[in-house]
């Protein structure tokens, strides 16, 4: 950032691994912090469709809830590059989607919205770039749809089953003990989706 006329820190969402160090970094660099509503003062809020000027072109703000309700991505249309925060991870085919009621439906809508942008490369906050964007979107969407189908089958077999009872049906008995709590939260979000989206 040496020699920069101005520096801006653009937050994708409020999880501590993304936002907690922003004030200290801003203090050291003189940067302005912008981001989703609720994370920054009103004058620094980014909303869907806003633009940010950078030294390589205009970034367009894209509201992409699902991982969190306020999650934003940033699209550099000239390079067909999308900075995706935690909407995607650089490795694997899933990300955390269990934060709030309705998150699974929001996540699927966000994937469709990203697909409609037609990006070539996705730049996640964790892991390497996803250089075949459409393949990555297909993989992440496919994973979520398979989990939804598993949750639907589990509920058909046990309509009154608790999340704990359904957990092994969906994730299998080999699920490590340390992952049961987050898996239960994820399954709860899937069950919420299935119950609000009957076939």
Q: Calculate the alpha carbon distances from 138 to 56, 66, 99, 112, 125 in Å.
A: 28, 16, 22, 10, 19
The pair of three-digit structure tokens given for residue 16, joined into one six-digit string: 């501590």
DSSP string, 2-54: TT-S--EEE-S---HHHHTTHHHHHHHHT-EEEBSBTTB-GGGB--TT-EEEE
Residue 3: inside a domain, yes or no?
A: no
Q: How many CA atoms lie within 13 A of 151 on its CB side?
A: 27
Q: What is the domain extent for residue 182?
A: 8-196
Residue 129: inside a domain, yes or no?
A: yes
Residue 2: inside a domain, yes or no?
A: no
pLDDT in single tens digits along all 199 residues of the chain = 778 888 999 999 999 999 999 999 999 999 999 999 999 999 999 999 999 999 899 999 999 999 999 999 999 999 999 999 999 999 999 999 999 999 999 999 999 999 999 999 999 999 999 999 999 999 999 999 999 999 999 999 999 999 999 998 898 888 898 999 999 999 999 999 999 998 7
φ/ψ of 183, rounded to 5, equals -65, -35
Are the C-beta atoms of residues 72 and 12 closer than 8 Å to each other? yes
Residue 25: inside a domain, yes or no?
A: yes
Number of domains the chain contains: 1
Residue 158: inside a domain, yes or no?
A: yes
In whole angstroms, how large is the CA radius of gyration of the chain? 19
Q: What is the CATH number of the domain that holds 66?
A: 3.60.15.10
Residue 110: inside a domain, yes or no?
A: yes
The pair of three-digit structure tokens given for residue 117, joined into one six-digit string: 């942008």
């Amino acid at each position: 950032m040496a020699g920069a006329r101005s520096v801006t820190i653009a937050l994708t969402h409020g999880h501590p691994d993304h936002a907690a160090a922003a004030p200290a970094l801003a203090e050291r660099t003189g940067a302005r912090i912008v981001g989703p509503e609720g994370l920054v003062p009103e004058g620094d809020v980014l909303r869907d469709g806003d633009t940010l000027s950078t030294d390589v072109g205009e970034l367009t703000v894209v509201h992409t809830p699902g991982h969190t309700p306020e999650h934003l991505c940033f699209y550099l249309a000239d390079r067909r590059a999308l900075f995706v925060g935690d909407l995607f991870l650089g490795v694997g085919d899933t990300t955390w989607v269990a934060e709030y009621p309705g998150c699974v439906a929001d996540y699927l809508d966000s994937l469709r919205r990203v697909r409609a942008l037609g990006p070539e490369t996705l730049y996640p906050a964790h892991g390497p770039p996803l250089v075949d964007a459409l393949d990555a979107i297909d993989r992440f969407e496919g994973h979520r749809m398979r989990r939804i189908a598993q949750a639907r089958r589990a509920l058909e077999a046990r309509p009154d089953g608790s999340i704990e009872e359904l957990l092994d049906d969906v994730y299998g008995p080999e699920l490590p003990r340390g992952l049961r709590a987050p898996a239960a939260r994820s399954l709860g979000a899937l069950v919420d989706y299935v119950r609000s989206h009957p076939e």
